[in-house]
Structure 1
Amino acid sequence: MPTVSQRTIQSRARIPSSARAPKDDSVPPVVLMVSGGADSTALLLMACTSKLDIDDGCGRASIARNRLHVLHVNHHLRGSASDGDEAFVRELCRRLGVPVCVEHASLRDLGGRNLEAAARDVRYAAARRYLKELVEEAGCPRRSARIATAHTANDRAETFFMNAIRGSGISGLSSIPRRRNLIVRPLIDRTHEELQRYLEVAGLRWREDESNRDTSFLRNYVRHRLMPVAMERNRNLVRTVAASCDILADEDAYMQKLAATALRSCTRREGAGLLVLNADRLAATQIALARRMVRLAVKRIDPQARLEMDHVQRVLECVAAGERSITLPGGISALVEFGTLTFRVPAPLREPTPGWLPVPGKIAITEETAIEVEPISMEPGSDPIACARRAAPAVLVDAASLGYGEADLPHGMNDNEATGVGSMRLWVDTPVPGDVMCPLGMHGRSKKLSDIFGADRVPVEERSRVPVVRTAPTGAVVWVAGVRLDDRFRCTPTTKVALRISVRGTDKNH
């Protein structure tokens, strides 16, 4: 997230415990996000004195005073004015007897995002941390806690036009939702003008942010330039747009359910930071659902990812082309190959560590996996194909074909149990350009390893991490783990000793 790091956030300051309401450990907290402006000041006063609907199943009701906690984030963007906002919120909370938590933050490295969005991310992150602390202190279920913001019908209408200007689908045009998880907006049906009148009647002042007049910011442009012109044709514009947003939100929720069901049926593989879809099935899906499926898929592996319409369209163009890749925001890759669409978050590649593999013995190739090998005696005249099938997914290699004689083998082979360590060893590394092998079943004909990977539909991004067992660092390829055995080293009816080679998970406790 292109915002301040945790280290730059200063210590929190709360009012003395003597000014707080009595604590009740069984009461779920409600965190009010208060900036000091008219809307959030009205939210705080209403929470303390009126009935609000915080979507907890009680409808419009008074909120118990000991549930209330205020969070104020000082971004230090306006110098002394920002400090004045903080002082105002502190004093108001002292007068109302509500505990306040203040966080100080400085915005750095926006990563190409606008200042308004970066500041919003900081505030919500601080609210989630504060709520988590309060829930842990109270020992109550997190699902019963709430974060309340002071968004109004005006904010909703402005966001509608902002998203329309940027270019958006139904999700964006439905604007600010009434609720998202634990975040609720009890003032979403009230206008900014109504809240100002409410504070005037109550005799309570609020803070004005002079930066709200700067029309270089899109929201301020919409608020001061676009909305007044549109309201010349419809004085009730704010409520009209809000009603449209409700309709769009309902339709969006329905479409999201359909897309989620379609995505499940299209998913072929899922893991940490990885999602593989059936590209052919996605291509055959109605475009309205396909767009949503792409967004849901990316959100599944990276909830913080923000896709624009152009990103979604480029992914679907790759699907239509049948073989292409692009990079999405956050470094997420979208790769279409072999009839699949693979989304993958960027992560350090854990390529196998090269090294000698003693016989018998094992070598850890990554933190999670190891290559193991053990010699076994073969019955004279045994069927090598049947033996290989019984050994699967391990492979059997003829020790003699590797150039090793009886003297090189560990002791005890006549008893079908190897003891000690012989001089036999193999080399394990990864594919290198120009690698060739004679795949099992091709009767000695060679083939490039890259062509074998393509024929076996091994994703391009995974090929550099496939372990390769060789006779020596520059020797012949014996086995490409999980892919193919070289025909020159297969067992035959005359094989006396075979090497059983397998890939296993490492035991991290040892």
Structure 2
Amino acid sequence: MPSVARRYGSGDAAGPFERPSRSTDDALRAPVVLMVSGGADSTALLVLAATSALDIEDGRGRAHIARERLHVLHVNHRLRGIDADEDEEFVRDLAARYGIPCTIRRVDVAALAAASPDGNVENAGREVRYSEATRLANELSAQLGTPRSAARILTAHTANDRAETFVMNAIRGTGASGLSSIPRRRNRVVRPLLDRTHDELCEFLRMRGIVWREDDTNADTRYLRAYVRHEVMPVLERRNPRVVASLSTTCDILSDEDAYLTAVAARTLRDLTRRTGEGALALDAARLSACEVAIARRVVRAAILEVCPDARLEARHIAQVLTLVAAGAGSASIPMGAEARVEYGLLFLRARAPKAHDFAGWLEVPGELPLGDPRPGRTSAHLSARLLPAPDGADIPALALSHGREWAGTSVLLDASACGIDASMGGRLWVDSPHPGDVLCPLGMHGQSKKVSDLLNEARIPAAERPLVPVVRTSPTGPVVWVAGIRADERARCTSRTSHLLELSLRTA
């Protein structure tokens, strides 16, 4: 987010004899990938990058880019037959004319779109272009030995593109982020031509005697952008000839304000987070409901995307979650597998509903049992068991109590014999999820029985998480020994007569 000093130019420049830092040196050597389609705007981008000063957001302001840093990328979408091949050849020749290396990537965008949920060719093409640009920037960074973050990917978006996107998003319905339209910079992607119009760039090319390629599909008003460009913008320009510049200024204002609110929402999300887990997040629902609605919307959106980056969010989904928060109870499903539930004063957000019984199996004593099927990026958990001789002269019940407190219930000491484990030969215990009707005698309740479901309810374990609580039994149909991390059974407790201790531990890694 730019400060007032940075945006409006106040502040002192570095001294003339100041030694450049390592990060400055990296910025001056890092690759600059030019995304060039062959149209007028991207052709102008290539020419300007090779011959003029551009601000690529590397801290130098408007400056010439060293030729050896430049690299052209052209993605052939294979949508327009021979015309697409001629675009490719045009870009290759233009890059060679200015002595800039050129990489061509050919992708069957139609096939990708057909396989995508929305079938949108434009979206598929855009995703492919940015994906290929990112891949190329990473490859070049590795070759040059510069940090990936120092690389730049330049696109040829203009003030016209920005105004059109503003109108398109307004037609669809959006918030401040959508109305901010195309940002000047997002991470490594920089758009140095946003202050120039398409007509200005065409005139620049004519003055240089440089031709460009025309894409006939840009005139097809069945596409929303083409409709806005050819049908809507001319009407607005008749009313205000400077509408493109006006909308660009509006986008800058909205972008700055959106960045500020996003930062506030990020801090609020951190403050409200009470629990985190693999694909799950719990927020303080009462404090969230007390937030200003503008911040609450952003917090919910950011939280959902944190647990489920592929969630397809719309304003109605955010409103639905906030309705649950205001009511203090209820649940809702969000497209692409995200779930929201309010209970126990918390808003629980999850990427998917957990599966019951996906870790059922025998726990050898001594031994270890993985809980579930660990996958890349997931936190793995396991149960372990071992046998220990009771220390001579020790107060065994007090030792077991102290151990449980030290490990906050994630590890317990039980009487091995009471759990059916032979001290000399070992044995095994059965582990699975809670069953309907499960009963135990919770440790400390002096033999009184309680349903496992009631125990989990009192421990405030959300309903969606209960199938993931491991229950240790003497056999698949035997009595419960330990509801892992919650409570052990009174009948398996250590006594002064205990000769061997069974240590059961629940660990995550």
Q: Which category describes the TM-score, using the shorter chain as reference length? A: 0.7 to 0.9
Q: In the alignment, is the contact (CA less than 8 A) between 2:484 and 2:506 conserved in 1?
A: no
Q: Greater CA deviation, 272-281 or 183-192?
A: 272-281
TM-superposed CA distance for 1:271, in Å, is: 4.4
The reply on whether 1:42 has 2:44 as its aligned counterpart is yes
CA deviation after TM superposition for structure 1 residue 291, in Å = 0.8
- The answer to whether structure 1 residue 182 and structure 2 residue 188 are counterparts is yes
Distance in 1 separating the partners of 2:128 and 2:354: 27
Aligned pair partner of 2:158 in 139, 148, 152 = 152
Give structure 2 stretches of 5+ with no counterpart: 1-25, 375-380
Can you list the C-alpha shifts for 1:84-126, whole angstroms capped at 9, x where unaligned? 2111111211222211111111132121152212211110010
**TM-superposition CA deviations, 1:35-72 (whole Å, max 9, x none):** 01111011111111222111222222222211111000
Residue 377 in 1 paired to residue 390 in 2?
yes
Tell me the residue number matched to 1:294: 300
| 1:282-361 correspondence runs (5 A) | 282-303=288-309, 305-346=311-352, 353-361=359-367
Indicate conservation of the 8 Å contact 2:412/2:505, yes or no: no
Per the alignment, residue 413 of structure 2 pairs with 396
1:241, CA displacement in angstroms?
Answer: 0.6
Contact 2:221 2:230 in 1 (8 A): yes
Q: Percent identity?
A: 53
Moved more, 382-391 or 288-297: 382-391
| Aligned residue runs from structure 1 range 51-200, under 5 A | 51-107=53-109, 108=112, 109-112=115-118, 114-200=120-206
Q: Which residue of 1 aligns with 2:450?
A: 447
1:470 and 1:448 map into 2 onto residues whose CA distance is 15
- Residue 29 of structure 2 aligns to a residue whose secondary structure is coil
Counterpart for residue 459 of structure 2: 456
Whether the 8 Å contact between 1:360 and 1:375 is mirrored in structure 2 is no
**Equivalent residue, structure 2, for 1:480:** 483
From the superposition, tell whether residues 496 and 181 of structure 1 become closer, same or farther in structure 2 (CA, over 3 Å).
Answer: closer
Q: CA deviation at 1:384?
A: 2.6
In the TM superposition, what is the alpha-carbon distance from 1:343 to its structure 2 partner?
A: 2.7
**Contact 1:25–1:138 (Cα < 8 Å) also in 2:** no
Q: Contact between 2:284 and 2:345, CA under 8 Å: does it hold in 1? A: yes
Q: Name which of structure 1's ranges 435-444 and 206-215 shifts more when overlaid on structure 2.
A: 435-444
CA offset at residue 381 of structure 1? 10
Q: Cα distance, 1:429 vs. partner?
A: 2.3
1:198 Cα deviation from its structure 2 partner = 1.3
What is the CA distance between 1:306 and its match in structure 2? 5.0
What is the match of residue 387 of structure 1? 400
Q: 1:203 aligns with which of 203, 209, 216?
A: 209
Alignment of 1:184-263 (within 5 A): 184-263=190-269
Q: Give the equivalent residue in structure 2 for 1:413.
A: none
How far off its partner does 1:362 sit?
4.2
Partner of 1:453, secondary structure, is helix
Contact between 2:27 and 2:151, CA under 8 Å: does it hold in 1? Answer: no
TM-score (norm 1): 0.85
> Given the alignment of the two structures, is residue 470 of structure 1 paired with residue 473 of structure 2, yes or no?
yes
Choose 131-140 or 106-115, whichever is displaced more: 106-115
**Aligned 8 A contact 1:426 1:469 in 2:** yes
Question: Residue in 2 aligned with 1:417?
Answer: none
Tell me how far apart the structure 2 counterparts of residues 213 and 456 of structure 1 sit (CA, whole Å).
62
Deviation at 1:344? 2.9
* Structure 1, gaps ≥5 residues long: 1-23, 411-420
Change in CA separation of 1:365 and 1:51 when aligned onto 2, cut-off 3 Å: closer
Quick check: 2:403–2:412 contact (8 Å CA) kept in 1? no
Counterparts of 1:44 and 1:30 in 2: how far apart (Å)? 11
Of the three residues 480, 483, 490, the one matched with 2:493 is: 490
Contact 2:366 / 2:384 at 8 angstroms: preserved in 1?
Answer: no
Counterpart in 1 of 2:34? 32
Alpha-carbon distance between aligned partners in 1 of 2:126 and 2:364, rounded to the nearest angstrom: 57
Tell me, in whole angstroms, the C-alpha distance in 2 between the residues paired with 1:361 and 1:306.
43
More moved, 322-331 vs 221-230: 322-331
Deviation of residue 318 (structure 1)?
A: 2.3
Report SS of the residue matched to 2:299.
helix
- 2:95, 2:420 → 1: CA distance? 84
Q: Match of 2:78, as an amino acid?
A: H
Question: Is the 2:354–2:465 Cα contact (8 Å) retained in structure 1?
Answer: no
Q: Cα–Cα, structure 1 residues 202 and 303, in superposed 2: closer, same or farther, change >3 Å?
A: farther
Tell me the SS of whatever aligns to 1:232.
helix
Any conservation in 2 of the 1:25–1:137 contact (CA below 8 Å)? no
Structure 1 contact 365–371 (Cα < 8 Å) conserved: no
Q: Does the CA-based 8 Å contact 1:68-1:98 persist in structure 2? A: yes
Tell me the TM-score normalized by structure 2. Answer: 0.85
CA distances 1:291-328 after superposition (whole Å, capped 9, x unpaired) = 11122223434556553212221221222232333333
Secondary structure at the residue paired with 1:235? coil
Q: Shift of residue 246 of structure 1?
A: 0.9
Change (3 A) 1:384 1:260: same
RMSD: 2.7
Secondary structure of 1:276's partner? strand
Contact 1:401 1:489 in 2 (8 A): yes
CA contact (8 A) 1:334 1:343 kept: yes
Aligned to 1:430: 433
